């Protein structure tokens, strides 16, 4: 049974506008962190709001832990929502309640008595590292601390599912890292299934197991984060991946590369090293065995979802048939070799 199963969700806000959701289906497995990435207006906000029916889809079904939510009447839906935690971009804390009172709020809504609420808040505060700030009001907290309150509040009623709506988009990069690390840690400790939406590929890279790319209300690409990063299929995905990995070679650098000697050719390629050959000395083997001159224009090695992975831009010089042979050999090793337009 998946944690979340969405099938054929469509939503159109006005007959004239393009649909916000256009037949979206996805499954989030239990215990995984699933990311949805897209530009603003891609429909990801509408999609995550459909999971707890804050937004009602025009058509399609919503299942959470095996229970159909879209057919529930209001009182039953309210009960179901208590089992789904949600974290927001702008924290959405009550300005006139302290951190502890904010965290206790969902319990108050659920009609839980004061003593039990306080006991639960005492458990939650250390979980998000806010013991010292329990009586502070939101205005006295930093952005990161506010989001910690938001996370503790989302976890107050002990949900199995956590929805993160751009949870780090209002935070600086360092704080983003801390909050993402916290979400990752809490997921493991509390056995949560997390659905998060973001417009930053770095967020996906940091915490997600799987990712779906959204554009114009549809999911255009989906897969394990490592696969999507190393073998993006769609242009939009490539652009997102490039944000983090920096595949593109600056045009100025390309222009400054030497021209090939007469009778020789130049090929500009980007090579992705992933899997078993990611640590092989491909460049020196190719230049030695095929008699080529290889100029490394840019390169870096990184780790995505715990797997090593490198990307390199090469300018290769030599006789055209030798160049073709060397590139074919590299492809034969299972490396992803793509020509860069000069």
Partner 1 sequence: MSWLTPTMQELMLEAFLETLAMVGASAAIAVALGLPVALLLHVTGRDGLSPRPWLNRPLGLLVNALRSTPFIILMVAIIPFTRLVAGTSIGTAAAIVPLALAATAFLARLFENALREVDGGVIEAARAMGASRMQIVLKVLVPEALPGLVAAVTVALVSLVGFSAMAGAVGGGGLGDLGIRFGYQRFMPEVMATVVLVLILLVQGVQSLGDWLVRRLSHR
Part of the chain binding partner 1 (CB under 8 A), chosen from 76-84, 124-132, 224-232, 302-310: 76-84
User: Could you say which of 72, 137, 177, 233 contacts partner 1 (CB under 8 A)?
Assistant: 137
Residues in the chain: 342
71 binds partner 1 (CB under 8 A): no
73 contacts partner 1 (rule: CB under 8 A): no
For residue 22, state whether it binds partner 1 (rule: CB under 8 A). Answer: no
Q: Which stretch binds partner 1 (CB under 8 A): 30-38, 80-88, 199-207, 297-305?
A: 80-88
Outline where DSSP puts E strands in 180-249: 193-198, 210-215, 218-224
110 binds partner 1 (CB under 8 A): yes
Residue 82's SS3 state is coil
Q: Which of 22, 27, 70, 108 binds partner 1 (CB under 8 A)?
A: 108
Q: Sign of the C-alpha dihedral, residues 167, 169, 174, 177?
A: positive
Q: Please check whether residue 28 is in contact with residue 84, taking contact to mean a CB–CB distance below 8 angstroms.
A: no
Q: Does 94 bind partner 1 (CB under 8 A)?
A: yes
| Residue 71 CB contacts under 8 Å (≥ 6 apart), including other chains | none
Q: How far is the CB of 300 from partner 1 (least distance, A)?
A: 38
| Side-by-side strand order, sheet with 21-28 | 21-28, 4-11, 59-64, 67-68
Q: Which is nearer to partner 1, 26 or 154 (CB)?
A: 154
Q: Give the C-alpha distances (Å, rounded to integers) separating 138 from 88, 94, 149.
A: 14, 8, 9
Which residues in the 219-248 window bind partner 1 by CB under 8 A? none
Q: How far is the CB of 318 from partner 1 (least distance, A)?
A: 60
Q: By CB under 8 A, is residue 84 in contact with partner 1? A: yes
Of 79, 142, 234, 253, which lies in the binding site for partner 1, with binding defined by CB under 8 A? 79
Q: In this chain, which of 86, 162, 164, 304 binds partner 1, going by CB under 8 A?
A: 86
| Helical residues (DSSP H) of 41-197, grouped into ranges | 44-51, 74-81, 99-109, 114-127, 143-155, 173-190
Q: Residues 145 to 184: which contact partner 1 by CB under 8 A?
A: 153, 157, 163
Shortest distance (Å) from residue 95 CB to partner 1: 6
Q: Can you tell me the distance from the alpha carbon of 105 to that of 138, in angstroms, rounded to the nearest whole number?
A: 14
* Residues in contact with 98: Cβ distance below 8 Å, sequence separation at least 6, in sequence order: 134, 135, 136, 137
**Quick one: which of 88, 229, 240, 273 contacts partner 1 (CB under 8 A)?**
88
Phi, psi for residue 82 in degrees, rounded to 5: -65, -15
Examine residue 143 and tell whether it contacts partner 1 (CB under 8 A): no
Q: Which long-range contacts (CB under 8 A, 24 or more apart) does 277-280 make?
A: 277/333, 277/334, 277/335, 278/308, 278/309, 278/310, 279/308, 280/333
The answer to whether the CB of 4 falls within 8 A of the CB of 193 is yes
Size of the site for partner 1 (CB under 8 A): 30
Q: Which is nearer to partner 1, 97 or 199 (CB)?
A: 97
Cβ 92 to partner 1, closest distance in Å?
Answer: 4
Binding of residue 47 to partner 1 (CB under 8 A) = no
DSSP state of 240: H
Of residues 117-136, those binding partner 1 (CB under 8 A): none
Q: How far apart are CA 86 and CA 150, in angstroms?
A: 8
Which listed range, 23-31, 81-89, 211-219, 245-253, lies at the site for partner 1 (CB under 8 A)? 81-89
Interface positions with partner 1 (CB under 8 A): 52, 54, 77-82, 84, 86, 88, 90-97, 105-106, 108-110, 137-139, 153, 157, 163
């Amino acid at each position: 049974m998946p944690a979340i199963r969405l099938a054929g969700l469509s939503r159109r806000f006005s007959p004239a506008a393009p649909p916000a959701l256009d037949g979206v289906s996805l499954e989030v497995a239990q215990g995984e962190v699933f990311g949805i990435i897209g530009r603003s207006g891609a429909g990801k906000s509408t999609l995550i709001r459909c999971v707890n029916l804050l937004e009602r889809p025009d058509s399609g079904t919503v299942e959470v832990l095996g229970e159909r939510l879209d057919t529930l009447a209001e009182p039953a839906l309210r009960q179901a929502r208590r089992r789904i935690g949600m974290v927001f971009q702008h924290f959405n804390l009550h300005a006139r309640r302290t951190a502890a009172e904010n965290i206790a709020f969902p319990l108050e809504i659920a009609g839980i008595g004061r003593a039990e609420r306080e006991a639960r808040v005492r458990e939650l505060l250390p979980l998000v590292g806010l013991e010292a700030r329990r009586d502070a009001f939101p205005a006295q907290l930093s952005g990161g601390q506010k989001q910690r309150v938001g996370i503790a509040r989302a976890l107050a009623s002990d949900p199995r599912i956590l929805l993160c709506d751009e949870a780090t988009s209002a935070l600086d990069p360092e704080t983003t890292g801390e909050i993402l690390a916290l979400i990752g840690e809490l997921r493991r400790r509390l056995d949560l299934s997390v659905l998060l939406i973001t417009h930053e590929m770095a967020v996906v890279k940091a915490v997600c197991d799987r990712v779906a790319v959204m554009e114009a209300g549809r999911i255009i690409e989906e897969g394990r984060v490592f696969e999507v990063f190393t073998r993006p299929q769609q242009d939009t995905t490539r652009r997102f991946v490039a944000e983090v990995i920096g595949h593109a070679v600056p045009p100025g650098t390309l222009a400054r590369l030497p021209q090939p000697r007469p009778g020789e050719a130049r090929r500009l390629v980007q090579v992705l090293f992933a899997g078993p050959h990611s640590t092989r000395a491909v460049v020196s083997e190719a230049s030695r065995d095929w008699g080529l001159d290889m100029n490394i224009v840019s390169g870096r090695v990184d780790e995505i979802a715990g797997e090593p992975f490198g990307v390199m831009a090469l300018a290769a010089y030599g006789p055209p048939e030798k160049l073709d042979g060397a590139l074919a050999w590299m492809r034969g090793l299972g490396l992803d070799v793509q020509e860069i337009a000069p």
